[in-house]
């Protein structure tokens, strides 16, 4: 149990049957009345943000989040299969747990699996990936003054915008958090 007076940014707590991470907190001591703690909480499972106030003596159970490195093996339609590289245990996750997080991840890449009490709720891809461009229109020579971009498709099937000088067959580096082109490799 953690009291509201001990809240810090990044701490995860269980509240009303959900798991929340503290994004912001502020101890408020008004001139009149009792002190309180104003917080901004992010629901870890669905990403929603709520604001809540606590009395400094209120206690909440601390939530323990397990982050485990696992290798993404393959997808067989609705299920995505991962393997623990130390114990060789395999798990299969449903497509609604995965969401969009694997659109830039190739097979055999390492990912972080986030779980709470054994229930997996999120998959974190590596921050940066290098992928081959499989489909891209040719760029127009000399049209680089505007910083223009064109759409392309990478080997995982995802599409993103790249600068005009990037061509089909190039390998590029992508930031998986934003889905943006970073550089050619």
What gap in Å lies between CA 98 and CA 9, rounded to an integer? 26
**Residue range 74-123, pLDDT digits in tens:** 888 888 899 998 999 999 888 877 878 888 888 899 999 888 888 888 88
Q: What CATH number has the domain spanning 128-184? A: 2.40.50.140
HSE-CB of 130 using CA atoms within 13 angstroms: 6
Q: What is the fold of 2-60?
A: SH3 type barrels. (2.30.30)
- Render pLDDT for 2-48 as a digit per residue (tens, 0 to 9): 888 889 888 889 988 888 989 899 998 988 888 999 999 988 877 78
pLDDT band of 143, cuts 50, 70, 90: low
What is the Cα 183 distance to its own chain's centre?
A: 21
pTM of the model: 0.72
- Give CA–CA dist 165/66, Å, rounded: 42
Instruction: In the chain, list all ranges with CATH 2.30.30.30.
Output: 2-60
Structural fold of domain 65-124 = OB fold (Dihydrolipoamide Acetyltransferase, E2P) (2.40.50)
Burial (CB count <10 Å: 0-12, 13-18, 19+), residue 70: buried
Q: Report pLDDT for 52.
A: 93
Quick one: tokens of 64? 């323990």
**Per-residue confidence (pLDDT) for residue 110, from 0 to 100:** 92
Query: CB 74: neighbour CB atoms within 10 A?
Result: 11
Query: pLDDT per residue over 149-170, tens digit each?
Result: 889 999 988 899 998 888 888 8
Q: Which residues make up the CATH 2.40.50.140 domain(s) of the chain?
A: 65-124, 128-184
């Amino acid at each position: 149990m953690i009291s509201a007076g001990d809240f810090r940014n990044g701490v995860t707590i269980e509240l009303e049957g959900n798991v929340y991470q503290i994004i912001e907190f502020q101890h408020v001591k008004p001139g009149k009345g009792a002190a309180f703690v104003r917080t901004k909480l992010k629901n870890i499972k669905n990403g929603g943000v709520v604001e809540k106030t606590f009395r400094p003596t209120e206690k909440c159970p601390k939530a323990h989040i397990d982050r485990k490195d696992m290798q993404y093996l393959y997808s067989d339609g609705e299920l995505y299969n991962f393997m623990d590289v130390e114990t060789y245990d395999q798990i299969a996750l449903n497509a609604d747990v995965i969401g969009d997080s694997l659109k830039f991840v190739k097979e055999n890449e390492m990912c972080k699996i986030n779980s709470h009490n054994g229930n997996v709720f999120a998959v974190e891809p590596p921050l940066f990936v290098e992928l081959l461009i499989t489909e891209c229109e040719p760029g127009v020579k000399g049209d680089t003054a505007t910083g223009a971009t064109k759409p392309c498709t990478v080997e995982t099937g995802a599409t993103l915008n790249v600068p005009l000088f990037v061509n089909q067959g190039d390998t590029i580096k992508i930031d998986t958090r934003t889905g943006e082109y970073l550089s050619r490799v």
